[in-house]
Amino acid sequence: MNTEQSIDMKDLKAIKLELTRFMMAYKFAIDEMNTKINILKDEFNYIHDYNPIEHVKSRLKSPESIFKKVNRKGYKLSLPEIKENVRDIAGIRITCSFISDIYEMSKMIAKQKDIRVVDYKDYIKNPKSNGYQSLHLILEIPIFMSDREVKTYVEVQIRTIAMDFWASLEHKIYYKYNKEVPTKMIDELRDAAILAAGLDRKMERLHKEIIEIKEADQAEQVSLESIIQKEKFNYPFFETILQKM
């Protein structure tokens, strides 16, 4: 092996090491965010006796997928350039029960001291033209490696079950038709998105009504217990008899 080949091998090893560390940072970022989300979910459940999250999914883009996007967008083929322009390498999708849960979860995530919200897109209040709805966050979180701290981007999508159902099927339909969906079907998909949004609003209203009924029942129970305690205080004779029975 000559000197030139030796240098080339060293360069390749160095490139491979940097690419590995580059991808590892995003993998660790997903792990970090999943831990944070689980903690927030459990805390919310303990305090409110209610779990706002139905399920959480995460994915890490493959190097092949990253490079395809880089070529498609015309970005420079360098790791710093990729980091700044391809911000969905690490992705997490949170599916919530109700619309109010989406905003509650986004607030709890944004309040984390080591998280910086880089971008916020509300496709719930402002749906896409095809009917798509979701809340998109681009977050920056620190990942502590053995010899460095790496600020890493993570895309978080938060949506309801109905939004997720529509988006998943819409994606499959587009994939099946190679993204050349007939106009009639596009209109029907948009109508289906409107129906899904209506279902979300209806379920949200029913959810709030149940909470109000529950709170009223609890208030009534507290009031009744207060009256009983007061009566027991006023009539110690009857209390004594009851204790002997």
Domain range summary for the chain, segments of one domain joined by +: 3-159
3-159: CATH number: 3.30.460.10
Give pLDDT tens digits for 182-202. Answer: 888 889 999 999 999 999 999
Indicate if the pLDDT at residue 158 is higher than 50: yes
Long-range CB contacts for residues 33-37, cutoff 8 Å, separation at least 24: 33/58, 33/90, 33/92, 33/139, 33/141, 33/154, 33/156, 34/58, 34/92, 36/109, 36/112, 36/115, 37/92, 37/94, 37/109
When mean pLDDT is compared across 78-92, 95-109, 193-207, 222-236, the lowest value belongs to 222-236
pLDDT at 75 over 80: yes
Question: At residue 17, does pLDDT exceed 50?
Answer: yes
Q: Is the pLDDT of residue 239 over 60?
A: no
- Is the pLDDT reported for residue 45 higher than 70? yes
pLDDT band at 48 (very low <50, low <70, confident <90, very high): confident
Catalytic residue among 155, 180, 215, 239: 155
Over residues 230-237, mean pLDDT: 56
Section 84-94 average pLDDT:
97
The verdict on whether 140 is a catalytic residue reads no
pLDDT score of 131: 94
DSSP H stretches of helix in 146-182 = 161-176
Residues above pLDDT 70, as percent of the chain = 83
Record the tokens describing residue 219, joined without a space: 């208030």
> What is the mean pLDDT of the segment spanning 117-126?
97
| Percentage of the chain exceeding pLDDT 90 | 62
pLDDT of residue 179: 62
Alpha carbon distance 131, 166 (integer Å): 9
Edge-to-edge strand list for the sheet holding 116-122: 53-60, 90-96, 149-160, 135-144, 116-122
Position 177 pLDDT exceeds 50: yes
Question: Average pLDDT of the chain?
Answer: 87
Higher pLDDT, 103 or 148: 103
Lowest-confidence range among 6-10, 26-30, 148-152? 6-10
